[in-house]
Amino acid sequence: MSKIIFLGTPLFALPILKSLIEKKYNILSVFSQPPSKSKRGQNILKSPIQVFSEDLKIDVRTPLNISNEKSHIKSLNIDLGIVVAYGQLIPEEILSLSKYGFINVHASLLPKYRGSAPIQRSIINLESTTGISIMKINKKLDAGPVCNQYQIKIKDNENYLSLSKRLSILAAEKIDENIKLIMSKKIIFKEQDHSSSTYAKKIIKSEGKINWEQDAKTIIAKKNGLSPYPGIWFNFNNERYKIVEAELSTLNGEPGKVLNDQFVIGCGINSLKVVVLQRQGKLPQKAIDFLRGSKIKVGSLLSYE
């Protein structure tokens, strides 16, 4: 039986690991990022992969640096390493320990959107399609040769959680056939066109600040890509307001100005209708209800500074 290790951290990786277990692959060890502290520092948060592996009594390790596990991985004499959103670059000293190398399941159609946030960036950039790439890992970030790619359409107004789930399920459905092809040496890895590569940089909280000078379609795409974290937000009277749900409106008006009692806000092109709003420290509520008792009124100018 083939000997495999799995390296992954977020929820996106979970269906792939579950699929491998259902297919009776011999998962000798699982590696995940170390537990983190909650925002208030009161709880230690384990990754979905760590929690799942512990529940199934699979050997799971959470090193700060995967190189620290070199002797353990070497002792396993593995046939293949499978990496799904692990969160660390795998150094050559580890890559060399696997008979068939390490393959990575990446959530984009490489060479587009290499990096840590391919799903979010695809949505933010209004791409119509995306997909899964299964590639062999080398020393450069997401630059190894590709064995297979699977394309899907991005649905209208689709957000990160929805698209991430669909891509994860797709990868889980396809991983078995690719492992079999790799181990039987019946697959040809094709080099990426490095001249066409783009980079999906890590999402940072400040990206959620709304610039009302942008067109409404761009702002909504950012909301979808940054949902649930960090979301998009504006300031009013030194308070932050997060737009949870929104729709495109064809009304035109001054950027950042509340145009009517339906909570339509002017943008650079067209406008944005707020459907659900969340005031800082409060629960989300319907925007129309919020507007009735709020200091924000028709004609108010919302800051993006």
Cβ atoms within 10 A of the Cβ of 295, count? Answer: 8
Q: Is the dihedral of CA 87, 92, 93, 95 positive or negative?
A: positive
Residue 50 lies in a domain: yes
Is residue 299 one of the residues assigned to a domain?
A: no
Write out pLDDT tens, residues 223-278. 999 999 999 999 999 899 999 999 999 999 999 999 999 999 999 999 999 999 99
CA-based nearest residue to 135, from 114, 105, 164? 105
Q: What is the mean pLDDT of residues 155-181?
A: 97
For the chain, give percent helix, strand, coil, nearest 5.
30, 30, 45
For residue 176, tell me if it sits in a domain: yes
The answer on 213 and 88 residing in a single domain is no
Q: Is residue 303 part of a domain?
A: no
Say how far apart CA 186 and CA 29 lie, in whole Å: 26
Q: Verify that 152 and 251 share a domain, yes or no.
A: no
> What are the C-alpha distances in Å from 59 to residues 37, 56, 78?
22, 9, 15
Helix (H) or strand (E) holding 94: helix 92-95
Q: pTM, whole model, 2 decimals?
A: 0.93
Positive or negative torsion for Cα 237, 272, 226, 291: positive
Which token pair is 296? Answer: 């924000």
Q: Are residues 195 and 215 in the same domain?
A: no
Compute the residue count for the chain: 305
32 and 88 fall within a common domain: yes
* Averaged pLDDT for residues 176-193: 93
Are 10 and 62 found together in one domain? Answer: yes
Q: What are the tens digits of pLDDT across the range 38-73?
A: 766 678 899 999 999 999 999 999 999 999 999 999
| Stretch 200-220: mean pLDDT | 96
Q: What is the CATH number of the domain that holds 82?
A: 3.40.50.170
User: Do 209 and 170 fall into the same domain?
Assistant: no
120 and 221 together in one domain = no
Nearest to 69 by CA among 56, 88, 52: 88
Provide the percentage of residues in the chain whose pLDDT is more than 70: 98
Do residues 164 and 222 both lie within one domain? no
What is the domain range of residue 79? Answer: 3-200
Domain C-terminal end among 178, 200, 222: 200
User: Are 195 and 220 found together in one domain?
Assistant: no
Let me know if residue 74 belongs to a domain.
Answer: yes
In the chain, the number of structural domains is 2
Is residue 305 a part of any domain in this protein? no
Residue ranges in 92-227 assigned as alpha helix (H): 92-95, 118-124, 160-183, 216-225
CA–CA gap between residue 127 and residue 221 (Å, rounded): 10
Is residue 122 located within the same domain as residue 248?
no
What is residue 37's predicted lDDT score, i.e. its pLDDT?
79
Residue 34, domain member (yes or no): yes
Q: Is the pLDDT of residue 140 over 60?
A: yes
Domain boundary among 159, 185, 200: 200
Domain CATH for 288? 3.10.25.10
Residues 259, 230 within the same domain? yes
In a domain, 278, yes or no: yes
Q: Which helix (H) or strand (E) holds 117?
A: none
Give pLDDT, residue 286.
Answer: 96
- Alpha-carbon dihedral of residues 249, 253, 255, 261, nearest 10 degrees? -70
- C-alpha angle with apex 175: 174 to 181, nearest 5 degrees? 100
Final residue of a structural domain among 171, 200, 229: 200
Is residue 194 predicted with pLDDT exceeding 80? yes
Rg (CA), the chain: 22
